[in-house]
Structure 1
C-alpha cells in the first residue's frame, strides 16, 4: 500500500491519469469520508503521476481489482467525478470508452427518482390505509352491534400505522433527495422535519398571524412540507453545502457547511413560501369557488386535469375549504368528483405503464400503484410511475380532463366529504331517485380508459422509435 499526494490545482486530472483514464474506472464509491475508485484493468494504472502529489490517499490491489482510496478532499473529488459525463448518480460508469452519453435532465424524472426508493414503505402503508378504509366503510353500513372495531384502540393504532409513512414523508423525501445529490442526509432530514417541531406546529396552527423577519407566514404548514418544495429546498441546501465545503478552511470543514445551510436555507424558504402561501390562501379558494359557481362544466374539467399538478405543488390542501363551503350551501359538491377522476386518471396511466414495462421490478411497482390509486392513495402512481415519463403523466391529466368534462355536463355530485375519493367511496355519490351514481361510474370508466389507452398507445410508439437504436450498458 502506497501513499500519494496530488496538487490541488490538478487534483482531478492527476487522479484520472493515475487511474488510466476515466474509461478505466469501473465504480466510484463514497462512504464515511473516503472516496474509492475501483478500476477495470490494473495494468492501466499510471504510477508515473505519483511524482507530483500532495493529498494523502491509499492504493490497494486485491486480486484483479485495484482500489484507489482518497481521504483528504474526498467529497470535492467525488462530487467532481459525478459531474462528469462518464458517471451516473450512483457513480457507475455508464458505457465503454468512446461512447459516453449525456442524459437530458428532466424535473419530472428527477422527482420520480427521488420517490422510487421510498415506494416499498409508501406501498406498504397504502395497503394498510386501504384495509382500514374498507373496514371503516363496512362499519358505516353495518349494524350498530358490529361497530366495536371502529371505536377500538386497536383500530386507531392500525390507522396511525397506515398514516405514519405519509406523516414523515417530508423527512423521507428530504433524505432521498440528499442521497441522490450526495449531500448531507442528516442536515436534509432536519430541514424536512421542520414542520414536525411541536412549537412550530402550534405557531402555524392559524390561531394568530405569524411573521418571520416582518414577512407573513401562511397558516398552512402542509404547504411547507409538500414534496416539491422539500426537493427544491434540499437542492438549494446541497448547492450551498458544496459551495461552503469548497471554500471553507480545513479546520472548519464538516461544521461550517451544516451550520450555514440550516442558518440560511430554512429562513430563506420560509421567507419565499410565506408570502406566496399567504397570496394563495387569500385568492385561490375564492377564485376556484367563483369558477365552480359560474362555469361548473369548465371548472370540473379543469380540476380533473390539473388536480394532480395541485398535489405536486401542495395546492390541493386549499380544496377542503371549497368542498366544505359547497356542502354547507348546497348539501353536495362537484369538486369531489373532479378529484376522483384525476386520481383514476393516474391509475389508468400507471396500469398502461405496467402492461408496457419490460422490467419486472418497475412493472410490479406500477401494478401495485394502480391498485392503491384506485383505492385512494395516489402518491405511488403519481410520483413513482407516471412522472418518470412525460407521455404517461400527460395522458393521466387528459384522462382526468375527459372524466371531468363528462361529470360537468351531467352535473355529477358527491353528497358527503371524503379525504381522497376512490372506488371505495362510490356509495357517497348515491342519491335516491337519480342516476348520479351511474354517471359517476361512467365518468370513472372514461377517465381510466382515456388515460390508460393514451399511455399504452404512446408507449408503443416510443418503443417502435427506440427499435434499432444503440442501448447503453451499465457496468
Structure 2
C-alpha cells in the first residue's frame, strides 16, 4: 500500500520546505505548486521520491506528476504545509509566477475537484441515450426521468458547484459562495424572465437588470466569486468577531447577488457564449485543420500543463448546447499515445521498456491518464513523441472533418467511449477516427523504435 504521507513529506523536504510554498492545488494527475523561490527545489531529488513520476517546471508552476493517486498525496501535503505554521497560506497570493501562470493555476484548482462528477454524469447520460435507442428504457418514463435527473444535475447546478470550488481557490467562504450561485437558479428568479428568456428586462430599486438563465453556465459564477473574494476578505478584516456570524453573510448576499445579476452575470454569459460560438464556428468552418492542430498538439499542451485553459470551453459547450467538438480531438491524442506505446511494445526487446509500454497501453485505455507514458517514454525519445503527434493529428483530422462530437466532458479512454453516443453515425465515425490514431501511432511507433532501445 502506498505511503502517501511519506511521498508528501519527501516532496516538501526537497522543494525548500513549507515556507517556500505560496499556493498549492492539484489536477487529475499532478500536484501543482507555486514556490517563492524555485531555485530551492531539487528536481532530481523530488523525482526520486517514491510515488513521483516526473517533475515539470513550466508556465510559472512547479508541477509534480504523481498519477491518479494525487488527491491522497495532496491531502497529506496540505496537512504538512498548514501544520507547519502555514495555516494562512494564501492561494491567491500575488507571488509565484506570471499572470498567465496564475490563470492556469486558478482554472486547474477550480475544475479539478469537479472532474469525477462531470465524467461520471456524462457517461451515465451516454448510457441512458443508448438505452433509449436500444428500447431498454422508454423516454418519459419514471426510470428515464430519474436517471436523466441524476445525469444532468451536475450541469444544471454547475454554478453552485463552481461557486464552492472557486471560493476555495480564491479564499472566500465556500458556503456563502454556493448560496450566491444557488440564488441565480431559484425558481422565482428564473420566472422573472417569463417567456422571453435571456435578455428579458427587470429592475432592482430602479436599476435596469438584464435577466439571464444561469443554469449550466460557467463563466458568470467564476467571475462573481472572484469579485466576491475581495469583498469577503475586506468584511472578514473589518467586521468585529462578535458580529461576523450575521453581518458577513448578510452583506455578502445583499451585495453580491444584485451585483452579479446586474453587471457580472450578463457579461459572463455573453462572453462565454461568444467564446463557445467562436470556437465552434472555427471548427465548423475548418474541422480538418482544427482536428490536426488539437489532435496533434494536445500532448504538447499536456506536457506543459496548460491544457486546463481549454477544458472550460469544452465544459461550457457541453452544459450549454449538449455537445462538444473539441473533446473528441483530445481522444485522438490519447489513442495516438496508446498506438505508439503498442508499437514500441511490438518492436522493443528490452523487458523493462516492453513492460512500461504495455502498462501505458492498459492504463490509458482504462483511465485516460497519459502523463506517465508521455513523460516516462515519449518525451525522452523525440522520434516517438513525433510519432504520437502525427498519429493524433491524422486521427484528429478525420474526427474534425466528420464533425464528431461527445455529449459529455470526459478524458479519452475506452471506458469513456459512451460519450460518443449521440447518433449511430457519430459513434461509427468516432470509432474510425480513434482507430486511425491507434493504427498510425502503432505503425510509426514500431518504425521509430530500435530493437535495442532501453527504458531510460
Normalised TM-score (structure 2):
0.48
Higher relative contact order (CA 8 A, sep 6+): 2
Name the TM-score, length of structure 1 as normaliser.
0.47
